[in-house]
Structure 1
């Protein structure tokens, strides 16, 4: 089978097929480098695309994705439109909105990617929408994530209380067991994610407002219920709510040392992984709130000044292959949910996803939960600023 990508033909089915007819092209993939699992997976991808297609994939590890966005913006401002230093970039949300606004991404290229069809985009708007922004073929979906909660089972056994399954039940738990829950400040991505989740869950009759650009009128409709909830929650939190953690990683440490009983994450797979590393105890369990879970799709963008666009598209096509998506979804590898619609896969392709291993601390994916799409990107800064105006002086 021959797949055509941006005018370049390559064989995409056999393990041993390679296109080494020319000097190995180099594709620089700028992606967050703060996860050993992600880094290891991308090393596997690099080995595979070099073997299959003769492409050298370099993972440029980022501490903050905005650093790569700023680099592309500076190159464009300097007139470098054909020989940029970033080929592919792992983005979503605010960073995508910024790159789209400044015309930093190649447009319309995703339809060239043969495996993109396996995401079934015509029946799955999440594949072509990023934080309320139409992607317009500027970025290809790569994986899915959603907010999950995790807890120390032994603690709840001793409390003789059920694990809270709704936002209101979370408040009641924190009131009954003060100091056992907290969330990071809103400058942290997980902190602002909690605020967005709470705002959506508390405004069921106004949820449509979140999926258009924020307005002052919309913000004033949303925030009263949010402030009422947080005003009640904060005094019951860890250290009486007088001190809040600055980074998401601190939540895991506080669960590990027993100061917290309940925490949350946007990466379900990191919980069983942390248990295996002995950073969390064996009795930790993961679940999703029954009243909804904030969820998003993360994407890969192709920069407007990449000198290696044909090879970069070949890499993206491999990343969307059933082989690569099934590998990435394995708990022991990464645990990142696939963006492929398994209903459109062949029997042999589906079988790649049927060998996933379970873990006592992993999220039970057989249980469904409502998913809240990320609000329009403009809501993030608006909610963060409103929170800081109300609570920032305290923290």
Structure 2
């Protein structure tokens, strides 16, 4: 997920939530007079035959787009006679469209599945924009997912309660070309020294870009620790006081950054291009194993390496949800179940190097083999080392507060 809900959308959606108080906004389709919530999974499959499922989500990852179109969609058609329609759209636009349809009383909405997480999920769930709970109806969720893991029960520390199912795992890493900068920073102190030695060639995307925001939260964790934030009140003054040492660090970093920290790249995509072109010597991403793919396609040099701080980096899970007024809830549940299958997860792991959501210990020996044979390629942190330093996300309610404070206290200071 690369963009966040705009402030104006948040205002409108809160107004809608108040107007919808006492009404969960959900409409359940029926098949043969039976609600989806009352159907067995076999009945859901039968009801979904011959239907189309729309899957709305960020469309900026071309490798993912190709995989969805060329691998997942054909598999769904062959196995279930379901046509998958991918609709590339930023999450703020997706939720704005969904909100408009719900306000208009559309019972058979255009949106079925949604790629979502974080504060977007919290806002949508709290404002009755999502269908659920539904995950307990999905065999693959029960059979292959660690249903007790906080990676599955919480989304940015917010209770999921069965309203979304895991899609993939992410973890923030930094990237550099060791032929250009052989000494990689292991903490924020060394990062500042790294920036001083490479003045004008280090930066991070402007918040609220997803990657820029997680970089700032990693700086906060490295300087201030993370435990205090896990149950912190969503009060701007409280948050500001807690992160002040990190804000001061970021202000001190500014003079050594690209454009002296007066402005920042407008997106992680822009920063990716700047790094690939040699304009920057540092990059960062939530795509933990993406470095090897870019080495293979020639975007990065053979000496490019991903790395993380000694104290670790933030990891999270991204999810699939269903619109409250989806016209094809049965088809959406069948598609979501298939996305969590070991076969599909292994293919994503192999093709796109996405951290799988299935619990390895729940797999058969044959299924484990499909994951074991995947070559992560050059430039990546070994998976065991990466996950041993996986830090929890902050509560979703704190993220926009931090982004607002960053804009006021760090930019151009």
TM-score, normalised by the number of residues in structure 2? 0.85
1:52 correspondence with 2:73: no
- In 1, Cα distance between equivalents of 2:313 and 2:321: 26
Question: Structure 1: which 4+ aligned runs deviate by more than 6 Å?
Answer: 19-22
Q: 1:6 to 1:284 in 2, by over 3 A?
A: farther
Which residue pairs with 1:309 in the alignment?
329
Matches within 5 A, 1:184-263: 184-204=205-225, 207-263=227-283
Which residue pairs with 2:162 in the alignment?
137
Aligned 8 A contact 2:205 2:268 in 1: yes
- In 2, Cα distance between equivalents of 1:343 and 1:198: 33
Which residue pairs with 1:100 in the alignment?
125
Question: How many residues get paired?
Answer: 375
Could you list the runs of 5+ residues in structure 2 that have no partner in the other structure?
1-35
* Cα-to-partner distance string for 1:123-160 (whole Å, 9 max, x where unaligned): x1110111121011110011100101111111124xxx
- In 2, Cα distance between equivalents of 1:305 and 1:129: 24
1:180 correspondence with 2:210: no
Which residue pairs with 1:329 in the alignment?
349
TM-score, normalised by the number of residues in structure 1? 0.89
Matches within 5 A, 1:146-185: 146-157=171-182, 162-185=183-206
1:30 correspondence with 2:49: no
What is the CA-CA distance between 1:267 and the residue it aligns to? 1.0
Which residue pairs with 1:391 in the alignment?
410
Which residue pairs with 1:281 in the alignment?
301
Aligned 8 A contact 2:291 2:378 in 1: no
- In 2, Cα distance between equivalents of 1:143 and 1:211: 25
Which residue pairs with 1:15 in the alignment?
none
- In 2, Cα distance between equivalents of 1:201 and 1:6: 48
Which residue pairs with 2:138 in the alignment?
113
* Cα-to-partner distance string for 1:327-346 (whole Å, 9 max, x where unaligned): 1111xx21111111101111
Aligned 8 A contact 2:295 2:302 in 1: yes
Which residue pairs with 2:383 in the alignment?
365
* Cα-to-partner distance string for 1:250-295 (whole Å, 9 max, x where unaligned): 2222222223222211113332222233222222111222211111
Which residue pairs with 2:26 in the alignment?
none
- In 2, Cα distance between equivalents of 1:142 and 1:9: 19
Which residue pairs with 1:7 in the alignment?
39
Q: 1:203 to 1:89 in 2, by over 3 A?
A: same
* Cα-to-partner distance string for 1:301-342 (whole Å, 9 max, x where unaligned): 011111211121111111000001111111xx2111111110
Matches within 5 A, 1:42-81: 42-43=68-69, 44-62=71-89, 64-80=90-106
RMSD value, Cα? 2.3
What is the CA-CA distance between 1:219 and the residue it aligns to? 0.9
- In 2, Cα distance between equivalents of 1:227 and 1:60: 38
Aligned 8 A contact 1:209 1:218 in 2: no
- In 2, Cα distance between equivalents of 1:213 and 1:109: 30
What is the CA-CA distance between 1:105 and the residue it aligns to? 0.8
- In 2, Cα distance between equivalents of 1:351 and 1:291: 32
Q: 1:76 to 1:52 in 2, by over 3 A?
A: same
Could you list the runs of 5+ residues in structure 1 that have no partner in the other structure?
12-18
